[in-house]
Amino acid sequence: MILTMDNVSKKYRNKWAVESFSLELSSGGVYGLLGPNGAGKTTLLRMLVDISRPTSGQIMLDGQSIEQMGDGYRGLLGYMPQRFGFYNRFSAHKFLMYMCSLKGLGVTQAAVRVQETLRMVDLEQQAQHKIRTFSGGMRQRLGIAQALLNDPQILVLDEPTAGLDPKERIRFRNIIGELGRDRIVLLSTHIISDLEFSCKEMILMNEGQLITRNTPEEIMNNMRGSVWTATLTEQQLAELASHFKISGLSYQSDGIVARILAKERPVPQAIPEPPRLEDVYMHYFDEEATS
């Protein structure tokens, strides 16, 4: 299965939210869509799940336009939007059964899938609890569960780990890694650690455009020789910060240890360091990453 975006653009009034975006995704891996807030990630995903139509360009699945496929395409999708609405008076079980009916699942199949997905997101014990009693993290897990109900072949998740604690995020990454073995999974986030261990490819996006795509290892390798650490005084740090990007600081008894992005040694005492994904984020997006 191959999902293709061919020169896709989306314009709102006088602003291009996505511009000339081309991308090909295939079954058998998790793709991480990484970019700062406002990069156009959500607009891109809404076009991929056929909620919003491109201003120009086309999206195809195995060479066929998803617009022409209609319900046949949407039946293959699982989607968790960044903001998801719930019926607070419903229990988790009732809500998922209702979502199954919207997805066209029969009662018997729905009952099985609801039980399976509640178990996957660790909400089995809260199945009969009202959603209004759920914490933010529990609601997020319920949103993930609804995206999995129809056993989708294309799974699109927009900031799915927002509000999850570290244990829940690890559980989520394990689930996604397993799901990505035989389907297309596209995960949009600005949280670096969500991508580091689970993604076979990272897709970097900013200002509506594709910046680069590659494996996490290759993206980091491309920055070798451009990351340094040095112990600095406050005055030295202020001077360097006006010329270079600083991707990390640690205040020690003997000075400030700074992680500096520079093509050449920025100060004589600087030591080269292996790049990390936080450095990649800072390099491309000029802001600190969320880990």
Greatest Cα-to-Cα distance within the chain, rounded to the nearest angstrom: 70
Summarize the confidence of residues 100-116 as an average pLDDT: 92
For residues 75 and 289, the model is more confident at 75
pLDDT reported for residue 119: 92
Q: Is the pTM of this model over 0.75?
A: yes
Domain residue ranges of the chain, discontinuous segments joined by +: 2-215, 225-273
pLDDT digits (tens, 9 = 90+) for 166-207: 887 887 788 888 888 889 999 988 777 777 777 889 999 999
Residues 236-246 pLDDT 10s: 999 999 999 99
Among 3, 2, 46, 5, residue whose Cα is nearest residue 23: 5
Distances (CA, A) of 237 to 34, 226, 240, 249, 272: 29, 17, 5, 10, 17
The architecture in CATH of the region 2-215 reads 3-Layer(aba) Sandwich (3.40)
Angle at 170 between CA 246 and CA 217, to 5 degrees: 50
Task: For residue range 135-160, list pLDDT tens digits in order.
Answer: 888 888 899 899 999 999 999 998 88
